[in-house]
């Protein structure tokens, strides 16, 4: 039976994580390692040079006082003694589309799995108010089974599931996320101030993107890669800098 490492960034007690854990346990050997507390927006941060609290809740279920990246590293290098077939991060409460992938702790956990040479999925549901994950869990378990059966190697998939009815699935590219950030400063006294980073999110609808798929009630599956090199930019830079 394939061993799956399950983690998330919403914390071990999040409904999406707990629902997927129960769903996967029916057909897979699941080893869960998740943050004790909310880690949304943690991106690929990790904890260095300080002890990380690791608590065993039950057999093959641990919580840690750290980030999603910490979860994957601790599981791989210490807690799990067998080969891991796949790293699954989710189900996240809220979408991770477009450039959200650079901030998401969910996606970062999948990227860390891929860095270790393990096939990895980041799974999110598009609504932040979602309270029933049964449809998303059913789809996720089916997708995971299909991928494992295919014996595909070396992939990172960012999966976003629409709220409500699922019409099907589409292979997509990252869309354009629009951030309208603002900083709210309050309680300033002398040289000390407290500021809150806030703002609103929007996006552009374009063909073959994750945003368009979700808007039309299709699951968006976006293949990611670890190499961020701008190869076209390399050629342009060579032209600019040549002597």
Mean of the pLDDT values across residues 205-223? 94
The arithmetic mean of pLDDT across residues 77-106, rounded, is 95
What is the C-alpha end-to-end distance of the chain, expressed in Å?
A: 59
Q: What is the pLDDT of residue 41?
A: 77
Count of beta carbons in the 10 Å neighbourhood of residue 65? 15
Q: What is the pTM of this model?
A: 0.90
Which of 15, 49, 53, 18 has the alpha carbon at shortest distance from 32? Answer: 18
What pLDDT does residue 185 have? 76
The yes-or-no verdict on residue 198 having pLDDT over 80 is no
List phi, psi (to 5°) of 111.
Answer: -65, -35
Domains and CATH numbers, the chain: 3-174+205-241 (3.40.1210.10)
Cα–Cα distances in angstroms (integers) from residue 35 to residues 9, 52, 98, 160, 217, in the given order? 7, 11, 24, 21, 30
* Mean pLDDT rounded to a whole number for the chain: 91
pLDDT band at 222 (very low <50, low <70, confident <90, very high): very high
Which tokens sit at 226? 């670890």
pLDDT tops 90 at residue 188: no
Tell whether the model's pLDDT for residue 179 goes beyond 70.
no
| 52-56, 93-97, 126-130, 200-204: segment of lowest average pLDDT | 200-204
The phi and psi torsions of 141 (rounded to 5 degrees) equal -65, -40
**% of the chain exceeding 70 in pLDDT:** 95
Per-residue model confidence (pLDDT) at position 76: 98
**Rounded Cα distance, 137 and 159, in Å:** 12
Residue 226 is predicted with a pLDDT of 95
């Amino acid at each position: 039976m394939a061993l799956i490492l399950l983690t998330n960034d919403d914390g071990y007690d999040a409904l999406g994580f707990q629902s997927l854990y129960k769903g996967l346990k029916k057909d897979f050997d699941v080893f869960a390692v998740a943050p004790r507390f909310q880690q949304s927006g943690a991106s690929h941060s990790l904890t260095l040079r300080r002890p990380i609290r690791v608590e065993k809740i039950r057999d093959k279920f641990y919580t840690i006082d750290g980030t999603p990246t910490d979860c994957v590293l601790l599981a791989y290098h210490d807690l799990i003694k067998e080969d891991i077939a796949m790293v699954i991060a989710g189900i996240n409460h809220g979408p991770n589309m477009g450039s959200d992938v650079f901030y998401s702790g969910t996606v970062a956990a999948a990227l860390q799995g891929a860095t270790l040479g393990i096939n990895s999925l980041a799974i999110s549901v598009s609504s932040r108010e979602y309270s029933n994950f049964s449809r998303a869990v059913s789809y996720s378990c089916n997708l995971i089974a299909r991928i494992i059966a295919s014996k595909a190697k070396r992939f990172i998939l960012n999966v976003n599931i629409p709220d409500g009815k699922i019409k099907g699935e589409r292979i997509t590219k990252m869309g354009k996320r629009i951030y309208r950030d603002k900083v709210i400063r309050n309680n300033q006294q002398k040289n000390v101030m407290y500021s809150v980073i806030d703002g609103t999110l929007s996006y552009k609808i374009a063909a073959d993107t994750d945003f368009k798929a979700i808007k039309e009630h299709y699951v968006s599956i976006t293949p990611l890669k670890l190499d961020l090199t701008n190869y076209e930019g390399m050629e342009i830079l060579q032209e600019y800098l040549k002597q």
